[in-house]
Structure 1
Amino acid sequence: MPARYCQDSPDAIASCVLEDMVLLYHRPSGQTHMAIAPVPEILATLDDGAALTAGELLGQLAQLYDLGEPEEALPLVEAHLAELAALGLVRIA
Structure 2
Amino acid sequence: MDAIKAYRRDARDDMTACALDDLLLLYHHRSGQTHMVISPVPEILAQMADGAALTAPDLHDRLARDFDLGPRDDAVAEIGAHLDTLVALGLVRPA
TM score, norm. by length of structure 2: 0.92
- Give the match's secondary structure for 2:19: strand
Q: How many residues are aligned here?
A: 93
What pairs up with 1:15-34 in 2 under 5 angstroms? Answer: 15-34=17-36
Over the matched positions of the two proteins, sequence identity in percent amounts to 53
Distance in 2 separating the partners of 1:72 and 1:21: 24
Query: What does 1:13-92 align with in structure 2 at a 5 Å threshold?
Result: 13-92=15-94
Provide the secondary structure at the position in 1 that maps to 2:11: coil
Which whole-Å deviations, capped at 9, do the CAs of 1:38-89 have from their partners, x for residues lacking one? 0000000000111101100011001111111111111100000000001000
**Is there any run of 5+ residues in structure 2 with no aligned partner, and where?**
none
3-state secondary structure, aligned to 1:32: strand
Distance in 2 between residues matched to 1:27 and 1:10, nearest whole Å: 8
Tell me, yes or no, if the aligned pair for 1:13 and 1:25 is still in contact at 8 Å: yes
Q: Which moved more, 1:6-15 or 1:81-90?
A: 6-15
Question: Where has structure 1 moved over 2 Å in runs of 4 or more?
Answer: none
Shift of the alpha carbon at 1:8?
2.2
Runs of at least 5 residues in structure 1 that lack an aligned partner in the other structure:
none
How far apart, CA to CA, are the structure 2 residues paired with 1:73 and 1:11? 25
